[in-house]
Structure 1
Amino acid sequence: MKVTQSAMLSPRQLEECACLGRQLARLRIARKVRQTDAALRAGLSRNTVYRLEKGDPGLALGQVLRYLEAIAPGSTLLELLSEKDPALLSLDAREKTKRVRDMTAAELKELEF
């Protein structure tokens, strides 16, 4: 009988899987690696990589580690989870420095109530 991992995990554990997937995706984006290239380097299908980045709990830990090695050679899972990678720090800095334009007179008037 086939058992789906998502049915066996608690909501907290499912959120941890999703968080790990998001961190893998952010690291890949921060290092400017295309998903197809990372999949090829890791020896995984693009569908498996998609599932990894979405936090699918049914994938093996070995696949996660191979994918991490393909994105950031020499990195460990602990380093990924602590978010100390220089590429991630640079991505965070780029995301935080968004300029905001001044509101137009019409937009300011619209806010008055």
Structure 2
Amino acid sequence: MGSPRAKLALEALGRDVRGARLRRGIAVADLAIRAGTSASSVTRLERGDPGVGIGTLADVLVALGMVERLTDLIDIRKDDLGLALTAERQPRRGRSFTAKPRKRGEQGAKASVDPDSVDPDGATF
């Protein structure tokens, strides 16, 4: 893992997993059995080892009753930068180039209608 920020984030995640486990009074071996993994994987996860798979993290969170937190990691509805970039790329609404000739064509057609061929209700003959 190259990024120091990512390493720090994984270590914080590991501390939080360990804290949640200890608050529940669950031993590492018991959590490993409940999560369907090994005790060494749980220990590595709690240390912030980047080699622990995300599936193992998900299984541990299920065993701790916290799996909904995994879906909240990247909530695109709260992604301010992503939302701003998407809004910036949206097409601008307004007159298009093709609207001008169409409008001119409609005006020319109205001008060429003989006023004698229009009845009072607006229907042409």
Larger-Rg structure = 2
Q: Which amino acid aligns with 2:23?
A: A
Q: Verify the 8 A CA contact 2:58 2:67 in the aligned structure 1.
A: no
| Distance in 2, Cα, partners of 1:68 & 1:61 | 10
- Pairing of 1:58-73 with structure 2 (within 5 A): 58-72=51-65
By how many angstroms is 1:68 displaced?
1.0
14, 38, 45: which is aligned to 1:21? 14
Spell out, residue by residue over 1:22-65, the C-alpha distance to the aligned partner (whole angstroms, 9 max, x if none).
Answer: 00000001111111100001011111110000010111111101
Give the TM-score normalised by the residue count of structure 2: 0.53
20, 44, 50: which is aligned to 1:51? 44
Give the TM-score normalised by the residue count of structure 1: 0.58
| Number of residue-to-residue matches in the alignment | 73
Q: Verify the 8 A CA contact 1:21 1:55 in the aligned structure 2.
A: yes
Where 2:33 maps in the other structure, the secondary structure is helix
RMSD: 1.9
Q: Within the alignment, does 1:76 sit opposite 2:69 as a pair?
A: yes
Where 1:76 maps in the other structure, the secondary structure is helix
By how many angstroms is 1:15 displaced?
0.3
Which structure ranks higher in relative contact order (CA pairs < 8 Å, sequence separation ≥ 6)? 1
Gaps of 5+ in 1: 1-7, 81-113
Gaps of 5+ in 2: 74-125
Q: 1:12 to 1:68 in 2, by over 3 A?
A: same
